[in-house]
Amino acid sequence: MGLYIHIPFCRKACNYCDFHFSTQLLGIDEITDSMKTELKLRFPKIPVEQATHYWGGGTPSVLSHKVMESLAHQALEKAPLKPGGEFTLEVNPDDVTSNSLLNWKSIGVNRLSIGVQSFNDNRLEWMNRSHGSSQASESILRAQDAGFENISIDLIYGIPNSSIAEWQDNLGRALDFGVVHLSTYALTVEEKTKLFYQIKKGESEPPKDERAEEDFRWYRKHLNDLGWDSYEISNSCIPGRRSIHNSTYWSGEEYHGIGPGAHSFDGINTRRWNISNNGKYKRAMDVDSSWYEQEFLKPRDMINEKIMTRIRTKEGLDSKSLGTWDIELEKLWKPHVDANRVFKDEFGTWKLLELGLFWADRIASDGFVPEDQLL
């Protein structure tokens, strides 16, 4: 079981981002108070122990120590972290100071996920990030000096007009710092983002698949050659340093999401999502009305989720967990099997092959149970 705390605030809006966040930092106190109320409502009786706490967003590191401490106190009281549990905080480089690191340690944070994205100043400016490359480097060094050893950084590849050499430099710098985990994402264009409109108006080139694929293939091979554990399409680590929290999403375990826009899953068939609007979320909390919607997944939905998430992992997709749909999947994926993109191993587990890795989403959707199919 894992607890996810969504902090829906950021200092600046990055041009590619479609997550739920606000740059109106004045609302922080009110929303975090509402989140404390949600914690009380979600865990009304006995505390429910969690294997992980993960604070994401948005940018959790925009919280002052006082606000963070108070919210953490409530979270740890209602959903205590089991001894040795993983407590991850997503931070942006410009918030990483000697003081903030001490504060984060004092509330129990033992893993940092730093939103570096690039070590190139021009790219950071183009993305409208709130930090420069020297802040990115300093944040990692400072965190290590403060005793944080379990550090992940996020990097984005496939940026328009970039080169493989630039990506190699980015990855090389990350490895030189000795970070133990990397989350790497191909730049994608989501509707209604600033990037979407920049491209529409001709102010920016769209990202190209070929560029992203070249970066992707290079870094996967490079990390594998170095003995890294590439345990999910976008996540790699030195052996033993997987993100325990994120692994719960891919293995279909229970997790509780707190805060505007946060999602939860009961580990069986119920998914719920909180209102993705800070004001509406707060008003719902104030009057004790429903602050979330939920759906009961049909067998079809559950199979599709399994296909979508597990095929992206190193462990793969257990065909036995699909019941009779696996017979159909054999037919649907035959073109991908013939093209050496995916295969079923001797234990009946579907796994992506090197050629299929970059096309995981397409392969997954080709295997989905259609809406009119009764299972």
Name which of 92 and 150 has its Cβ closer to ligand SF4: 92
**Selected binder of ligand SF4 within 3, 5, 7, 10 (CB under 6 A):** 10
Instruction: Measure the CA–CA gap between 112 and 54, rounded to whole angstroms.
Output: 10
List the structure tokens of 203.
Answer: 């102010």
CB of 128 to ligand SF4, least distance (A): 8
Name which of 114 and 322 has its Cβ closer to ligand SF4: 114
**Selected binder of ligand SF4 within 57, 259, 356, 367 (CB under 6 A):** 57
Is 58 a binding residue for ligand SF4 by CB under 6 A? The answer is: yes
Instruction: Measure the CA–CA gap between 179 and 115, rounded to whole angstroms.
Output: 13
Is 17 a binding residue for ligand SF4 by CB under 6 A? The answer is: yes
Name which of 61 and 162 has its Cβ closer to ligand SF4: 61
Is 14 a binding residue for ligand SF4 by CB under 6 A? The answer is: yes
**Selected binder of ligand SF4 within 22, 32, 59, 246 (CB under 6 A):** 59
Site for ligand SF4 in 71-110 (CB under 6 A): 92
CB of 25 to ligand SF4, least distance (A): 12
43, 50 contact by CB (below 8 A): no
Q: What does the angle CA 284 – CA 285 – CA 286 come to, to the nearest 5 degrees?
A: 90
Q: Which residues contact 252 (CB under 8 A, 6 or more apart)?
A: 265, 267, 305, 306, 309
CB of 218 to ligand SF4, least distance (A): 24
Instruction: Measure the CA–CA gap between 173 and 72, rounded to whole angstroms.
Output: 33
Is 260 a binding residue for ligand SF4 by CB under 6 A? The answer is: no
Contact stretch for ligand SF4 (CB under 6 A) within 55-63, 145-153, 263-271, 295-303: 55-63
Is 19 a binding residue for ligand SF4 by CB under 6 A? The answer is: yes
Q: What is the DSSP string of 209-264?
A: HHHHHHHHHHHHHHHHHTT-EEEETTEEESTT---HHHHHHHTT--EEEESTT-EE
| Residue, CB closest to ligand SF4 | 17
Contact stretch for ligand SF4 (CB under 6 A) within 8-16, 60-68, 173-181, 333-341: 8-16
- The one-letter code for the residue type at 326 is D
Contact stretch for ligand SF4 (CB under 6 A) within 57-65, 75-83, 275-283, 304-312: 57-65
Instruction: Measure the CA–CA gap between 357 and 355, rounded to whole angstroms.
Output: 6
Q: Kindly determine how many residues on this chain lie close enough to bind ligand SF4 according to the rule CB under 6 A.
A: 11
Is 13 a binding residue for ligand SF4 by CB under 6 A? The answer is: yes
DSSP letter for 315, please.
S
Is 115 a binding residue for ligand SF4 by CB under 6 A? The answer is: yes
3-class secondary structure for 343-359?
Answer: EECCCCEEEECHHHHHH
Site for ligand SF4 in 335-354 (CB under 6 A): none
Residue 17 zone, left/alpha/beta (φ > 0; ψ -120 to 50; rest): beta
CB of 195 to ligand SF4, least distance (A): 11
Instruction: Measure the CA–CA gap between 216 and 149, rounded to whole angstroms.
Output: 26
- The one-letter code for the residue type at 157 is Y
Name which of 21 and 55 has its Cβ closer to ligand SF4: 21
| E strand or H helix that includes residue 56 | strand 50-57
Q: How far are the Cα atoms of 155, 187, 315, 342, 366 from residue 331, in angstroms, in the given order?
A: 36, 32, 22, 13, 10
Site for ligand SF4 in 20-39 (CB under 6 A): 21
Name which of 124 and 357 has its Cβ closer to ligand SF4: 124
Site residues (CB under 6 A) for ligand SF4? 10, 13-14, 17, 19, 21, 57-59, 92, 115
